[in-house]
Structure formats: C-alpha cells, structure tokens
Amino acid sequence: MTRLVAGDFEWGRVLGEGSYGEVVLARLKDPSPFPDWPTEFAVKKLSKRFILKEQSIMHRTGRDVQKQCFTEKNLLSKLSSPFIVSLFTTFTTTEELFYAISYQDQGDLRELLNEKGALEVNAARFYLAELFSALFYLHDNLVIHRDIKPENILLGKSESGVHLKLCDFATAKDVTTLKDGERASTFVGSAEYVSPELLGYDEEVGKYAVYESDLWAAASVVYFTLAGLPPFRAESEYLMYRKIETNDYSFPEGFHEEGKTLVKELLQLKPCERLGAGRNHSDIKNHPFFKEINWTDLHKQEPPTIRQYSDSIEEIFHEDPMTAAFEEFSVESNQASKTGESGEQISEVDDPTGLGIPTILSKAEFEKRLVSQRIDRKNKSNRWATFVDDDELIIKLGYMYKKRGLFSRKRMFLLTGGKIEKLPRLIYVDANSWEKKGEINLHGKIKVHQKSFSRFYIIDPSKGRDGRIYDLTDNNSNSDVPDAGAAQWIRKIQLVKEIYFSKPKV
C-alpha cells in the first residue's frame, strides 16, 4: 500500500462525524504518480486520544476500539469488490490516524430514503441486488459485516450511473481469526437491524453472530427500501429488541408482494432457516423478487431511475388531463362567501370548505392579522405561530395525512403568505410531539395533482435528486362534500402560485 502524508492532500469539507473522529473530503495535490486512483477521497480521521481513552475503559464498555480500527484497515486492504469501498492509503500524525477511502458522491441510502420515503420497485430491486452482491462477496471471503444498515450503504456516480458500495468495517468479523468451534459473540450493530441470535434468542447457545445475521439485517433494509420505515419500530431499544426476539412486525397495505415473500423468508428467527443460509447465494438470486436481475456485472449496468414510491407513479410523471386542468385553474370560487379586496374568498383559517385568509393583504391588514395571530389566544392560528417566522402570517391551516412510503402520519399543515415580499411555504408539524417535521417551499415549478376527492400530490421537481412527491390526504373531503378539504387546498396552493409566481411583483 502506498504511503502518503497529510501534506500530500488538499482538505475539503467534512462529510460526516462520528465518535472516533470525522470523515473529510480530500484531493491529492499531485495525482500524477497514481493514474489509476480517483481524484477525490473520503478520508477517515481517527483521534488517537479518543482511541486511548476508550481503551482505558474497555473493561466497562466491552469495546476494543483499537482492534476495531485495525480490523477495518486489515479487511479493506485485502477485500476488492465493486460493491465495497476501497482503501487506497493510510498514514498517521502525532494526533490522528488517516484512512483514504473511495469517495461516494451521492450520499448514503438512509439519506435517499429520508428524501424519497420509499423507492419505486425497479430502482429498489436493482440496488438491493447490489447490496446482496456485496454480502455474497464478503461471505465467500469469510467476512461477516455485522452492521448492515442504510447509513453504511453509500451511493456514487460512475460511468454507467449511480451505484452502491458497502462501507464501515470497524465491527466486521474475519472468520479466519476464530478458533475451531468459536463464534463471533461481541454485541455490535444498530438496534433496528440487529438479529435475534445476537440478542440471545437461543438461550442454550447464547449471543452470537453468523453470516445469516447479515441476511437478517439486509431483510430489514429491503423492507425499509420498499416501505419507507424499518420493520421493527418501538419507543425504546428494549421494546424494539423484544419485537425482534418475537419477530413482531407487519406489512403495510400496498407492500410489494414478491418483496413481501423475500422479507418473510429472510426474517426467520433461526439463522439456518433464512433464505440463503449456509452461503447458498443462488437461493436469493433465484427468488421471484429478483427475476428481472442479471447478476453478471451489475456494477457496469445502467441503473433504473431513482424515484420515490407512489401507487400511481406513471400517472404522476406522465401528465393526464386532470393535472392539466388544475394547471389551468381559475381563481374564481363557486361559493357565495365574503371576499377581500382582490376578490379572493375569505374564510376562517381552519375552515375545510374555504380558502382561508387572502393570499395578499394590504400592509395595514397584514399587520393587524399578524398581531392577532401572535397575541390573541382565541385566534385559531395562535398556538401554531411558534412554527413560523416573526414576519410570516398563517393564511390557511388544517390536519392532513402525509404519506411517507407506505405509511401515513397525521400532520398539521400551515400555509404562510399575506405579503408579496415574503415567499410562501407549507410547514408541517407533528402535533403530538410538538415538532416541526418539514416544509415545502412553494415556487413557480410546483405542481399539484389530484388523485381522488380527498387525496392529492404536491410535486416539487427541484427537490432532492430527481424531484419529490408529497402525498397528502385531507379527510374533510369525500364524494359527499367534493368542494371541501383537498379541493380547497389545491385551489389555495394554485392561487398562491399564480399570485406569487405568474405575475410581476409590484
């Protein structure tokens, strides 16, 4: 392995931080001696002081941090797969250890799932096949990863498109270092993906990890990728571990059928009963979920487009007359109600049958309503005012269900507006935890697509990698009251879009 020093690199931004140190983007000052190397690296910097401190309390924590650091170095030095990050060089200073690893410029799978919720099945199938390919290679080379999770699955662009690489081998186990009959037994891994055997499900044998432990964790990643959340979820680690030990999970409505059978066959309590047990990789490769996968040279194939899951994905991306009709929406209301100076309908801010406060107000009216929302406890917007800026007015609010992957969560939505100088946004809040969960910044390219009387999509083509779809349902609307709920939200959002982004600002 080539030896370099810290001065040979130009140091860039921090890519991530951990308890041992940080990962920093770096570039060689003179790459000419290394024509086969990439131009950029993710350099893991490990604090020697922290490592020594952890070693001094190893008798309490059970963590041999020094061993973990050298395990990662030794394993990455001998492993070579297109589905695993590469280690190019290591070096030290008086204070730190440095590992220069291949840089993946598209983040990790967890970030992607946080953005998309769940992936459309063709993309999910391809990247899951790459994940299993990484595991097949590791297991054939007598290595158990022991910490398979979306955060350790990196994505990076190559000539053929975005591909996957597995990282973080600090807690991996080289099976060749075990004595005859010995098993890896140290408790490592992440709570949502830990296998029952490592929790001591088999009381006679005790806690241990085997190749099949990686398959259990991979099954949880399959579930997460197709549904938007991991299969085992609880309010505490203890309760989560109880669910894992009893295999207590369920599938949400709409879960891909072949994906469901794959997860079921992998999430078996006994390691020997899991699909692919005994390193029988063909059992997984031949599963119906992967029937469209050509396992040869996956890393050279062009991946499917990464899109978030929707039960009407083609309808969304291939616009139909309904969408076009909403794009041509007229701001006229068919309701006989009070109107403002611009002729826009006025209603209570939380009225599901109305448009709320006018989108644009006079300065005096704006200030009057703003003060009322901030200090008048009888004002229906008052309790939500802490979630908007001091100069933002809530012009419509209401509860809707926001679907993430296959799971729906009740959220309070706050639409801001009232003056042309302040761009509008749609903020959503978890009223139970009293926590802001996110926001949709409205702009001219936003589209609204009605799915049913109560359900609609807000499509932001500029959000994230390839756009984002917000799947919303307002239960105030149904076939009996077609002009309430979702219909009013659609009208209001289109009205905001027309006023703010279709006309010159005055």
- Is 270 labeled as ligand-binding? no
Quick one: which of 320, 294, 273, 352 has its CA closest to 447?
Answer: 320
Quick one: which of 374, 298, 261 has its CA closest to 128?
Answer: 298
Consecutive H or E run containing 317: helix 313-317
* Catalytic residue of the set 36, 108, 147, 214: 147
Token look-up 């408790």 returns: 187
Instruction: Report the Cα 414 to chain-centroid distance in Å.
Output: 23
CB 125 within 8 A of CB 164: no
CB 188 within 8 A of CB 169: no
Compute the distance between CA of residue 484 and CA of residue 185 in angstroms, rounded to an integer.
Answer: 59
Question: Under 8 Å CB-to-CB from 363, ≥6 apart: which residues?
Answer: 419
Question: Under 8 Å CB-to-CB from 77, ≥6 apart: which residues?
Answer: 1, 87
105 as an active site residue: the answer is: no
At 152, which amino acid appears?
Answer: N
Count how many Cα atoms sit within 13 Å of the Cα of residue 296 in the half-sphere of its side chain: 0
* Cβ neighbours, 10 Å, residue 334: 6
Compute the distance between CA of residue 241 and CA of residue 195 in angstroms, rounded to an integer.
Answer: 9
Token look-up 């070579």 returns: 80
Write down how long the chain is.
Answer: 506
Compute the distance between CA of residue 185 and CA of residue 200 in angstroms, rounded to an integer.
Answer: 10
Binding site membership for ATP: which residues? Answer: 45
Which residues are part of the catalytic machinery?
A: 147
Binding site membership: which residues? Answer: 45
